[in-house]
Amino acid sequence: MAQDVRIITTGGTFDKQYDAISGELTFRESQLPRLLNQARCTLSIHLEGPLAIDSLFMTDGQREEIAQTCVHSPEEKIVVVHGTDTMCRTASVIAEALKEDTSKTVVLTGAMIPYSLENSDAVFNLGCALTAVQLLPPGVYITMSGRVFPHDNCRKNKAKGVFEAIS
């Protein structure tokens, strides 16, 4: 029997689309329904999108909103699609909010290149996150580029464009 998984989308590069009029990457609608359909995902997915924001502009209040969405989610398996620049900070806020809840597994992921553009890593990262959330013990994690990190042992190396362990 497939597990129920909640996917919370917050925006980030993952969901950006090119706007031909402004020449900028903007948010229109989440790419997740199309991506999940394309991937032929058979999990029972519940999508929730409280935000569509670049994580560089995310406030502490918005991070807390994401954390509370995780706390109040009826599903124990949660994937958060997030911008990569501040993903680690939001993961820490979620972990703090869930510290008393030992039943939930939360995996954050994102993309360095938007799903809507060629050579995006979004599909791979989402697939890794959906697999990881089913297999990992309760806790908060980050998965990017095929690697899984505990939320408190991860950082984005902006010079290399990769996520890496701190220690």
Provide φ and ψ at 31, rounded to 5°.
-85, -10
Closest to 13 (Cα-Cα) out of 144, 157, 79, 112 = 112
pTM for the whole thing?
Answer: 0.87
Instruction: For residue 56, give the 3-state DSSP assignment.
Output: helix
Q: Which tokens hold the place of 89?
A: 């900070």
pLDDT band, very low/low/confident/very high, at 117 (cuts 50, 70, 90): low
Domain ranges of the chain: 4-164
Q: What confidence score (pLDDT) does residue 50 get?
A: 63
Q: What confidence score (pLDDT) does residue 1 get?
A: 41
Q: What confidence score (pLDDT) does residue 167 get?
A: 81
The answer to whether residue 47 scores a pLDDT higher than 90 is no
What dihedral angle (degrees, nearest 10) is formed by the CA atoms of 96, 54, 145, 92? -10
Mean of per-residue pLDDT scores for the chain: 85
Q: How would CATH label the architecture of 4-164? A: 3-Layer(aba) Sandwich (3.40)
pLDDT tens digits, 17-31 = 655 666 665 656 677
Highest mean pLDDT (candidates 20-29, 36-45, 79-88, 89-98): 89-98
